Chain A
Amino acid sequence: MPPAPRRGGSRTSSRSNTPLSRTNSRSSAPARRPTSSTPPVILAWTSAIKQALSQKRPRLLHDLLTLKLVQLVSKKPYPALRKEARELGDRFAIETVIDQEMGDDWKSLNSMLVAYLWFLESADPNMIMRKRPSYKEETMTYFSRMVEYLKAFNSAFNHPDGAILSFTATLMAKWACLTAVAVDQLLGDPHMKASKDLVNPLLRTFNIALSGERTPYTSPNQTLKKAALVDLGNCLFRLYYKLNETSMIPTLQDHITAGQLPLSYPYFRNPTLCTFFYYRGISLLRSCAFISAHQALQDAYSICHPGYISHRRKILIPLLASSILSGLFPRPELFNRPESPDLAELFLPLCYAIQKGDFRAFRHAMGIEGPARWKYTWWEENRLLHILEGRANILLWRSLIRKIWLLTCSPQQKQQIVRIDDILACAVALHRKEPHDIGPAPSSDPHGVADPASWWFQDSGGLRLDRIQVEGIVLSLVDQKLIRGYMLRQSGGQSTWLVLSKTGNPFPSLYQTLLARQPVPGASASRQLAGGGRVVRMNGVKEIGQ
């Protein structure tokens, strides 16, 4: 349970245009006693909230609890509500008024409303207009009270009747995220403290939504806590990626997908689903689960509206990478779409290189060598450089070996044999740099040139390919079932053989091979989740002390 809101103020501010002085938590002046009558706008506001609760109208409730700053300072009745909250003076007075109007039925809701009015009291047009120099301090106060409001919200959301707050939770999380990002930018904070402060309260909201009720989500019109789960997850993913603390993301995504939620329209809005599948795909891509990443990103791309070109491009780039690494090459027609005009120059050479097993063409496609060095920076900025370098290498070897097989073996041969020495000779030729790529001095080439005449392995600067290394690489291919066959060493220093399978295709479809490794649905219960977190249902468990 989050701590109860502190009585009294938290930070002082420079505003002095209210008839009553404000106190802070450390002031020694006694709190002003509230008047017995509730101010009219607050009275109307609480009446509307009671009406929304009794009539079970979550959208009306959300309209009364907005976090959007522009609305708070300009849209009726928020300016008047804010003015009355200020006139009450301090948090204790607000609490008295709210308790008086709302009664004792739902105490945590009362605390939430108090926190909301206290947060509203800090909203100032100067944060947008920035006419006074105190706008930074005002923004910090505003954000810290917003976080306090979120904590109080969680207490109310955790109530058995808290499902009515799920719509509010969705939009509250969204606006809180945007505010945190804006605060970090405004303050130029390298440690992104505002975003960090927001993570735990939102995570608590997520856990409440996850474990809140047992009712399954079977109809889009149901008012359930878990209806907010995906939106809350998306906000958390955004924060985690911003903070570059991504270890919890797979756990949260696994909880969402394992929660038996109908991840489709109309149960969730298309933007929500698109965002979720995008983050899911990115996370899977980084775990090198390329088949699953391809499926998730494909879903996101299919849902994304055609008018949102930048969003579609953002999804398409990792989608192409995961597809290529799964053995699914894009058709050239894909690059005629408005979101992908320049992607052909990047991805098609990559596809051709992998298809042919051409290491030199691959280096050119990655910008490691050749005239298009800008590609290296592009892959780096899109965080695909190391994934492609590390995970496409074995596919290059596979394609090269397949070509050698096609050239050196005939179907009439009893045994389909590829000699390791043949593979070595071809690989050495393809690993040599072209003369114009060998710089005059090693230090002038950021990618490293050691011995210009050397044949080297993977930009290692002088590390030479030899027979035993190639044999180790082929062993890995056979062990991962990317080539079907076995290896046979020869006596007298002769080349080792790669004996290919006689039944079926010795070079099975990469996509089918990887697809066969996908776990059977429902068999993932034994898989350990990263991050160490599972939400534990506490229903029926006695509290400590009982």
Chain B
Amino acid sequence: MEEKDCSSYYSREEIFKVGTIEEWYKAFIESRALERQELIAAGVIDNPAVQKPLEEAKPFRGTCIYMCPSFESVQRIHQKMVDKFEMTDGKPDHKKFVKSFHRPAAGLEAPLPCDVRKPWILVGTLHYLVKEILGRYPWQECQGFVRDRTRSIRQDFTYQNYEGDEAVHCTEVIIRFHLVGLYLLPDNDEYMELEQLGKSLTTLSFLYKASQVPDADGNYKRFPNEAEFRSYMILTHIHDGYVEREDFMKWPEEVRNSEQVKHAIRIYQAAQKCLRGSAEGFNAMHYANTFFTLVASEKTDFTTACLLEVYFADIRKSALQAIASNYMKTSKMTTLDFIQDLLYYEEIEDLIDEIENYGLEVGQNTIDGVSYTYLVLGGKKFNSKFEACFLV
């Protein structure tokens, strides 16, 4: 059976101009069941009722040439699940519809080819999201929408088991989106971004494996941005032992010797912590000031800095704990100015907030008529107020 796009059953223009949405929704429900049977009979898609080994599964290819499949467009209008970015003058505009993410769940039918977009459409959809949505609306307003739609883009590639250049390009752009999101969003949304970032990097790592194997002519495929994203992979696993476990010899030489990867490894090494009470993680550097100096250096680009900001609180906490334990207890010279410089706090007030959050105190002192604030050591024990709530 030839590939066809979803407009073969119903014309896209006809759907949104003639008849009511309810009528079209019912028509789609009926036609989809027929279409599924036809496609199974023609051998285009697998019959879910027949078990077979995974190796014998038919390759699935999407045929949709719109940003959102017609059925979903009708369904969402019918169910009144249209996002504001998909409306014009308060009314649903099918030309702005973008397919949303559908969590695969037991009992739901497998998608049809007309529900899955072709790779080149996915690239166009992503560019639309970046230019027309992110480029026009405040980030905080549209970030959730774009995150959901980019997740759907990745899902469509997964359905088709597609590993081509379009998948690499889209995954790379999506990763950059998540990285910037880490910086622009409030901290309580960080987890969701990190989760999607991790999944996207895992996908990209799999796609990059094509560079490790020669093709039929003995040539190795090269990805122009691989060094950049390998550095993100290193920094996303800063506390996972990634550098020690990874086999760098499998990476292309120009990638593992690139400045981006080497700079990421330096930051990774500076951020390693000594795990108290653990028999692992020996000889960790844990050079807090070096970490921040490397982050502030001109070799750290914006997206890398967005990622590294996630670790600031944890590294500062460990450093404050070390300062509280290892500077002379009776001294009044452990000034906040020094700690601010050591740990690269932008404002002294931020530092004071954190010090008090960890149960420590600040004091005032004057030497030669110059007054300054210092960290009081040997008084209260280092602890976060959150932990203190649970201590008996």
Chain A residues within CB distance 8 Å of chain B: 190-191, 244, 246, 284-292, 325-326, 380-381, 383, 385-387, 389-395, 446, 448, 457-463, 468-469, 471-473, 475-476, 478-480, 486-491, 499, 514, 517-519
Given known A386-B248, A472-B288, contact A517–B326 (CB-CB < 8 A): no
Having A389-B269, A393-B269, A460-B266, one finds 15 other A-B pairs with CB under 8 Å, namely A190-B213, A286-B245, A288-B244, A390-B244, A391-B282, A459-B262, A469-B289, A469-B293, A471-B289, A472-B342, A473-B289, A475-B322, A479-B286, A488-B328, A517-B277
The 7 closest A-B pairs by CB, nearest first: A472-B289, A190-B213, A390-B269, A489-B333, A479-B322, A391-B283, A289-B280
- Nearest A residue to B268 via CB reads A390
Chain A contacts for B244, CB-based, 8 A: 285-288, 386-387, 390
Residues B289 and A514 in contact, CB atoms below 8 Å apart: no
Cβ of B313 < 8 Å from any Cβ of A? no
Tell me which residues across on chain B come within 8 A of A490, comparing CB atoms: 333
**24 CB < 8 A contacts A-B:** A190-B209, A190-B212, A287-B241, A288-B283, A289-B279, A290-B282, A291-B279, A380-B249, A381-B249, A383-B247, A391-B283, A461-B299, A463-B297, A469-B290, A472-B342, A473-B287, A475-B288, A476-B322, A478-B322, A479-B286, A480-B286, A489-B333, A489-B338, A519-B277
Cα A393 to Cα B266 with chains together (Å): 11
Known: A325-B282, A380-B248. A191 touches B334 (CB 8 A): no
Per-residue A-contact encoding for B225-264, CB less than 8 Å = 1, 0 else: 0000000000000000101111111100000110100110
Q: Contacts of B294 on A, CB cut-off 8 Å?
A: 460, 463
Nearest CB on A from B142, distance (A): 36
Task: Verify A288–B281 contact, CB threshold 8 A.
Answer: yes
A244 to chain B: closest residue by CB: B247
- A479's nearest neighbour on chain B, judged by CB, is B322
Please indicate the chain A residues that have their CB under 8 angstroms from the CB of B352 in the complex.
none
B130 close to A (CB within 8 Å): no
* Any A CB within 8 A of the CB of B367: yes
In the bound complex, how far is the Cα of B321 from the Cα of A478, in angstroms? 12
What residue of chain B has the Cβ atom nearest to residue A10's Cβ?
Answer: B53
Bound-complex Cα distance A490 to B284 (A): 28
Are A390 and B331 interface neighbours, CB within 8 A? no
In the complex, what residues of B have CB within 8 A of residue A244's CB? 246-247, 250
A448 CB to nearest chain B CB (Å): 7
Q: How far is the CB of B333 from chain A (nearest CB, A)?
A: 4
- A278–B265 Cα distance when bound, in Å, is 27
Task: Please determine whether B293 and A463 come into contact, CB atoms closer than 8 angstroms.
Answer: yes
Flag if A475 contacts B326 (CB, 8 Å): yes
Q: With a CB–CB cut-off of 8 A, which chain B residues contact A463? A: 293-294, 297
Q: Which residues of B contact A491 (CB under 8 A)?
A: 333, 367
B359 CB → nearest A CB, Å: 18
The answer, among A292, A460, A480, for a CB contact under 8 Å with B284, is: A480
Are A383 and B328 interface neighbours, CB within 8 A?
Answer: no
Contact of A288 (CB < 8 Å), options: B241, B299, B325:
B241
Chain B proximity of A452: nearest CB distance (Å): 17
Assembled-state Cα–Cα distance A395/B282 (Å): 11
Q: Chain A residues near B21: list those with CB within 8 A.
A: none
Residue B272 interfacial (CB < 8 Å): yes
List residues of chain B with CB within 8 A of the CB of A519.
Answer: 277, 279
Tell me if A288 and B269 are in contact (CB < 8 A): no
- Judged by a CB distance under 8 angstroms, whether B77 is at the interface is no
Whether, in the assembled complex, B110 has its beta carbon less than 8 Å from a beta carbon of chain A, the answer is no
B383 within 8 A of partner (CB) = no
Q: CA–CA, A469 to B270, complex, Å?
A: 11
Q: How many angstroms from the CA of A475 to the CA of B247 in the assembled complex? A: 32
Q: Provide the residues of chain A in CB contact with B333, threshold 8 Å.
A: 488-491
Across the interface, name the chain B residue whose C-beta is closest to A524: B279
A389 to B285: give the CA distance in the assembly, Å: 10
Whether the pair A487, B327 counts as a contact (CB closer than 8 A) is yes
Which residues of chain B are within 8 angstroms of A191 by Cβ–Cβ distance? 209
The answer to whether the Cβ of B278 comes within 8 Å of any Cβ in the partner chain is: yes
Return the CB mask of B284-318 against A: 1 if under 8 Å, else 0: 11111110011001010000000000000000000
> How distant is the Cα of A394 from the Cα of B256 in the complex, in angstroms?
24
- A140 and B212 CA atoms in complex are apart in Å by 23
The answer to whether the Cβ of B341 comes within 8 Å of any Cβ in the partner chain is yes
A321 CB to nearest B CB, Å: 11
A389-B269, A489-B333 given; A292·B279 CB < 8 A: yes
In the complex, how many angstroms separate the beta carbon of A341 from the nearest chain B beta carbon? 24
- Of all chain B residues, the one with the shortest Cβ separation from A490 is B333
The chain A residue with its CB closest to the CB of B253 is A446
Is B203 located at the chain interface by the 8 A CB criterion? no
Question: What CA separation (Å) do A387 and B248 show in the bound complex?
Answer: 12
Assuming A244-B247, A459-B262, A479-B322, is B288 touching A517 (CB within 8 A)? no
Q: For residue B323, which residue of chain A has the nearest CB?
A: A475
Give 1 or 0 for each of B123-158: 1 = CB within 8 Å of chain A CB: 000000000000000000000000000000000000
Among A190, A244, A387, A517, residue most surrounded by chain B Cβ atoms (within 10 Å): A517
Please report the C-alpha to C-alpha distance between residue A487 and residue B330 in the assembled complex, in whole angstroms.
Answer: 11
Nearest residue (CB) in B for A290 is B282
Interface flag for B274 (CB, 8 Å) = yes
In angstroms, Cα B296 to Cα A463, docked, is: 10
- Can you name the residue of chain A whose Cβ is closest to the Cβ of B327? A487
Give which listed residue, A448, A476, A488, A517, contacts B331 with CB less than 8 A.
Answer: A488
Instruction: Say yes or no: is B373 at the interface (Cβ < 8 Å to chain A).
Output: no
Q: Which of A325, A381, A487 has the most CB of B within 10 A?
A: A487
Q: B383 to chain A: closest CB distance in Å?
A: 17
Given contacts A386-B244, A459-B262, contact A486 B289 (CB under 8 A): no
Known A289-B279, A480-B274, A517-B279; judge A488-B327 contact (CB<8 A): yes
Given contacts A391-B283, A469-B287, contact A286 B241 (CB under 8 A): yes
The docked-state distance in angstroms from the alpha carbon of A246 to that of B247 is 11
Q: Which of A391, A392, A472, A514 contacts B290 (CB 8 A)?
A: A472
B335 lies within 8 A of chain A by Cβ: yes
> B285: which A residues are within 8 A, CB to CB?
390, 393-394, 473, 476
Question: Are B280 and A489 in contact, CB atoms less than 8 angstroms apart?
Answer: no
Minimum distance in angstroms from B344 CB to a CB of chain A: 10
**Cα distance A460–B283 when bound, in Å?**
20
Instruction: Closest A residue to B297 by CB, please name it.
Output: A463
Q: How far is the CA of A204 from the CA of B286 in the complex (A)?
A: 40
B75 to chain A, nearest CB (A): 37
Residues of A within 8 A of B323 (CB): 475
Interface contact A290-B283, CB-CB below 8 Å: yes
A448 and B283 within 8 A (CB):
no
In the complex, the chain B residue whose C-beta lies closest to that of A462 is B297
Chain B residue with Cβ nearest A458: B266
Q: Please state if A448 and B259 are interface contacts (CB–CB under 8 Å).
A: yes
- Which chain B residues lie closer than 8 Å to A286 at the CB level? 241, 244-245
Nearest-CB distance from A511 to chain B (Å)? 11
Shortest B130–chain A CB gap in Å is 32
Across-interface contacts of B338 in A (CB, < 8 A) = 468, 489
Q: Are B290 and A457 in contact, with the CB atoms below 8 A?
A: yes
Residues of B within 8 A of A471 (CB): 289, 342
Contact of B274 with A395 in the complex, beta carbons under 8 Å: no
The distance in angstroms between the C-alpha atoms of A490 and B243, with both chains bound, is 38
Q: Contacts of B281 on A, CB cut-off 8 Å?
A: 287-289
A2–chain B nearest beta-carbon distance, Å: 14
Question: B residues within 8 A CB of A291?
Answer: 279, 282
Instruction: Collect the chain B residues with CB atoms within 8 Å of residue A190's CB.
Output: 209, 212-213
